[in-house]
Chain A
C-alpha cells in the first residue's frame, strides 16, 4: 500500500493570505484527488487530476499534479474563513478504483 504524506500538518493564516499545501508519495498515481472535510462532516471531492503536469482551477483554488505523477499541490489565493477545514489528498495506482488517503492538512483561516 502506498504512503501519502501531506504538509504542513496544520496551518493557521489570516483572511486574505495565500497558501500552498502539498501531497507527496514515492508511488506513481494514475489519478489523484483532493477533498475538503469540514468538522462533523464527510469529505467532499474538490478535484481529480490524471495527467502529469496538469493544472486545474476551481475559483480561488489551483491544483497541480506533478510531472512524474507522484505529488500534487493545492494553492489557495486570498483565503477566506469558509476555506477552513481538513484538506485530504487521495491517490489511486494502476487505474484502480480504490484510493489511499493522506493524513490531511488542517487549515484555519482567521477573520
Chain B
C-alpha cells in the first residue's frame, strides 16, 4: 500500500525551539508539498518541491524552511517556533503531471507553548 509517512502525529514544542517535521513517501513521486491546516482557513501551501534539491515558496513561507536532499524525503523546518505556528501540518506528494491528485500523510498536530 503506497503511502506518505509523517514522522510524528503529535508534537509539543516550546517557543523559540527549532522544529523538524519529516515526511517520507514510497511512491517515487517527483512533487512534494507542505501545507498547514487551520479551522476555517483550509489548507495553505507553505513550500513545495518538484525535484531533489529544488524548493519553492508557497503562499505562507514566512517562519519556515524546507529541505529535500533525497527524492523520497521532504522536511519542514520551523527555525524558531512561535505560538502562531500551532497547527495541523500535512505533507503530500504527487507525480509530475498536471492535474494529478495528491497523496497526503496523516498529519502532524504541532502545539507550540
Contacts and interface: CB of A to CB of B under 8 A. Distances in A.
Interface of A: 1, 4, 9, 30-31, 33, 35, 40-45, 48, 50, 88, 90, 92, 95-104
B42 A103 contact: yes
A94 B59 CA distance: 18
Interface string B49-63: 010000000110000
Nearest to A100: B45
A90 B101 CA distance: 10
Given A9-B40, A42-B107, A98-B33, 6 more contacts: A40-B106, A97-B94, A97-B97, A97-B98, A101-B44, A103-B40
Interface residues on B, range: 20 to 34
A4 B104 CA distance: 20
Contacts of A41: 106-107
Name A's interface SS: loop
A30 B98 contact: yes
Given A42-B92, A88-B42, A95 B107 contact: no
Given A101-B43, A102-B42, A45 B102 contact: yes
A42 B90 contact: yes
Contacts of B31: 97
B64 to A, nearest CB: 17
